[in-house]
Structures are given as C-alpha cells and as structure tokens.
Structure 1
C-alpha cells in the first residue's frame, strides 16, 4: 500500500476534516464512503467505534483525527504554524471546533423535524447502496430515533438550544469576516488545521436544510469559502507574520469566544468529573448550559494546559490579553 486509506462518510464532519487535511498536505490517499458492508470489515480494527477510520501505509489503523493529523506534520505541507504563539492558537481553535462547535451540527441535524428526516435518509442512502428506497427509509427511521435519543447526552436539549445556536452564529460571523478579508484563511493564505476543523463541521451543515438556509442568507461568503477549504491542494500561500496574525479580527474574535465559552465549558466538565458528578451546569455567553460529563474533554483541557505552559511568558501574555479572563483556566 502506497498511501493512506480513509473510511468515512460524507455526513461525518471528522471524515471530511481528515480528507481535506490530506488533500491540503498533498499526501497520497484514497477515500471510501463506508457502507454497512465495509463496517463489518473495517470497524473491528479500532477500539472506539467512530469514524473516520484510517489505515496508514504501514498497515496500522486509527480513528482519532487530531492526534493522527498532528502525527503527520512532517509529511507533506504543514498545517500548523511553526511560531509558538500561532501554533497554540491554531490548536485551541481546532479543539474548540471539534468539541464545542460540533454541538451545533448535532443540534441542527436532530432538533428540527425536516433536518432529521433529510439527514437520516441521506446517511442511510450512503450506507446502503442499491438497497432501494423503502429499505433506506426504514433504516433511516431507526437511526433518526436513536440519534434523537442521544441528544441530551451531548447537551443538545430544548433548554440549551438558544446558547448553541447563538454561539454557532457568533462563530460563523467571525468566519465571514475572514472569508471576505485580505487573506483566505485564519493565519494567512495557507490553510491550517484550525480552518480545516471548522470546515468539517460547516461542510455537513451546508447541506442540512435549516443551517444551510441561514448560512446562505447571513454568511454567504463563508458558505462559498467551504468549497475553497474542501480541496486546498493547489493553493499556494504563506502564513502571516505572527503579530499580523494575532491582530486579525477573526482570530481575536475566536480567541475571545474560547475565553468566555469553550474554556469555561471544559473547566465545568472537568470539575464535575473530579467531584464524581454525572452532569454539570455552567453559564456561557450569558445563558445556562447543562450536559453529561465527558472524560475525553478532560484530556482536551489537559492537552491545552500543557501547550499553554510550554509557551514562554511573553507569548502567554499576548494570548491572555485576547482570551480574556478565561485564560486563567489554562494556568
């Protein structure tokens, strides 16, 4: 085998994230939209039953997108700026996209009846090729019921819907400024891992009825930007100078959102787990938010703190000023 094999789904933001990253890095790879039959062969190779699943050229299997992609930084084009400040900021935004921004994707997909029907049918159409419409729609009814039953587990409830939607739109408006700004991506004319993580979530939402309509009406250039990020293999460009990148409006806005939303969310989750609680509540952007605890997100906070503490004092000072009070969570 001479390249990477990606087994994913067009409805999976993390699958599209990995595919876009390998395209941007110009690494040889294949893409397989995984069917039910493929699952029987592929999923036993990984412990966590989530996609995408990647087989590496040496025959190993993995399915955690961030560690996998960071492990490829020396292959092909780098997706993370080498400057320590920008590297930390890139990884913070990428983590926020994966762990917080994704809640909007899950919420919109299953909270609205039109979206739930559309998405379930679409997912099953991809998974059951040649099965026929009746079989696809019967399977879709089952997956729709299952996913709706899981909404509260990940914090997507009628009570949290206002904060999830408002926070998502806040991020999208920051990214619209980027899409219409002097450079194509967050850190210059070169795509980063942060851009790609945001792209993965937004790309699947760009075909789901409710978020698609809002994106096209309110942030039309971000909507178009998604096609740019989908395949950046032919785009040449450089990172901005660190000071210019840190002064960028979209980067400053996303760091402020990390400070008042994502980092408090991670802190509340970690505190609840430490106390032995099964759920937690926290005020985010002036609104109440509650969900069940997640061990994986404790690991996210620990990783961010390690990266923060590895920075020198001057770099921390620059970033702290942009994150605000929430930066204290990283100390």
Structure 2
C-alpha cells in the first residue's frame, strides 16, 4: 500500500490519484504533513503536493516524472500513444494542463468568496492541525495566503482577469470539440493528455462552485 501525501482538493494530487486508480495501484491518501517539513525536504527536496512514499521505501515527487517512471515499471495499460504524432500531442496537452491552466484554476478558487470559503474550510481540516490558532483565524490565514501568492503575485488583476477567464473558457471549448466523437481526448482509451487535464478539471474547475457552474452549462461533455 503506497502512501500519497497531498490533499483531496489539490490540483496535482487529483491528477496522480486518477492515474493510480487507472493502473490499479493501491494507495492510502494522507494529508501533507507540513509539521514534518524537514523530513519531506530530506526525502524529496521540497514540500509540495503530492509526495509518494512507496511500499519499498522509495519516495517520489512531481507528477509528470512520477507518471513516466511508473509507465516504465507498469507499461500496461499504456497511457503513452504509440503513434509519434499523437504521443507528442499527449505530452503537449499534459504540459498545458500542468502549467497553463494553473493560473485560472487558482483564480477561480481564491478570487470568489463562496469558493474561497469552501476550500479554506477543507484545508483547515487537512493541514491546519499543527497550528494552535482558532479555526476562523486559520481559515482566514489560508485564504489570504493562497489569494496573495497564487492570484495576486501570479499576475491576476483588473487588467488581466478577462484574459485569465478566457483561458478557462477556451480549454472547455477545445475539450468539448475533442470529446464530441470519442470518449477520451485522443481516442478510445485514456492517455497522458487526459491525466494532465485531470488536475485542473477534476480537482478545481469541476468541484469549485463558480467554475463548475460554467462547466455544466458550457461544456457538459467535459463535466461528464
């Protein structure tokens, strides 16, 4: 039984969990132990989500190299298309999901009051145990930290907000077109592209109230 340290609302934890389930790799989902940050740095070099502790004692971090390593160890069912062109597209879409949808995902989560309240309450329960502050204060600290670091400092402001919103809408439209005549983004089986998009779609845009309503109305195939 592997241990996956992350969060049930984490972008990259959701991507990894979807892959582990597809591969049939049993794992235990655990909150990131921020109170043991020194140990995590020693094991993988940084405190981030997710971190994997394998049953053979090895540790892993960073979802893209994790998936590629596991593909070498457990090649069936494969998520890397055999066709070179389709394989390139799978890698490109995975990188797009990993890097370019992060900004709108964090914007929708922390810029809107109801979304912010919901997720900060969840994170208090998951990662706030090492702090002795009152619950309301821990929740406010989490919301302020996330909004400051991952919205304001990531360049989302009055001048860029329309563009950031449009990035999400463009992703929904492109995925809807791809899913109109096939069950997965690049064919009849999941590929690296699908798992790359699971981070933003499954763990941010899908469950967070504001982007979820947009997705249900604009892109029902993506929501499904």
TM-score calculated relative to the size of structure 2: 0.87
Relative to structure 1, the CA distance from residue 135 to residue 192 in structure 2 (aligned partners, 3 Å threshold; closer, same or farther) is: farther
Number of residue equivalences: 219
Consecutive unaligned residues in structure 2, runs of 5 or more: none
Q: CA separation in 1, counterparts of 2:42 and 2:161?
A: 35
The 1:143–1:43 alpha-carbon spacing in structure 2 relative to 1, beyond 3 Å, is: farther
Find the partner of 1:58 among 29, 53, 56.
56
CA distance in 1, matches of 2:137, 2:42: 26
- Asked whether the 8 Å contact 2:5–2:33 carries over to 1, the reply is no
The answer to whether structure 1 residue 212 and structure 2 residue 194 are counterparts is no
Q: Show structure 1 runs of 5+ residues with no match.
A: 225-331
Q: Deviations over 1:86-130 (max 9, x none)?
A: 11110011001100011111111112222222221122123347x
Residues 80, 191 of structure 2: 8 Å contact kept: yes
What whole-Å deviation, never above 9, does each CA across 1:56-96 have from its counterpart, x for those lacking one?
34312221110111111131422111221111110011001
The separation in 2 between residues aligned to 1:41 and 1:139, in whole angstroms, is: 23
- Return the index of the structure with the highest Cα Rg: 1
Q: C-alpha distance in 2, partners of 1:161/1:100?
A: 15
- Residue of structure 2 aligned with 1:73, choices 49, 71, 76: 71
1:8/1:32 contact within 8 Å kept: yes
Q: Is the Cα contact below 8 Å between 1:35 and 1:126 reproduced in 2?
A: no
Secondary structure (helix, strand or coil) at the match of 1:71 reads: helix
Match of 1:100 in 2: 100
Higher relative contact order (CA 8 A, sep 6+): 2
Correspondence 1:1-331 to 2 at 5 A: 3-34=1-32, 42=40, 44-74=42-72, 75=74, 76-128=76-128, 135-150=134-149, 151-179=151-179, 181-204=180-203, 205-224=205-224
**Contact persistence 2:37–2:47 (CA under 8 A):** no
Q: Alignment partner of 1:197: what SS?
A: helix
Provide the C-alpha distance between the structure 1 equivalents of 2:214 and 2:69, rounded to a whole number of angstroms: 36
> Residue 9 of structure 1: CA displacement?
0.4
Deviations 1:191-236 (A, max 9, x none): 1111111122112222212111111222123112xxxxxxxxxxxx
Counterparts of 2:33 and 2:220, CA distance in 1: 33
CA shift, 1:43, in A, is: 5.6
Contact 1:108–1:211 under 8 Å retained in 2: yes
Conserved? CA contact 2:32–2:49, under 8 Å: no
Q: 1:212 to 1:34 in 2, by over 3 A?
A: same
Provide the rounded CA distance (Å) in 1 between the counterparts of 2:207 and 2:33.
20
Does the CA contact (< 8 Å) of 2:40 and 2:46 recur in 1?
no
| In structure 2, distance between residues paired with 1:44 and 1:115 | 34
Quote the offset at 1:6 in angstroms: 1.2
Provide TM-score, normalisation by structure 1: 0.60
Secondary structure in structure 1 of the residue aligned to 2:92: helix
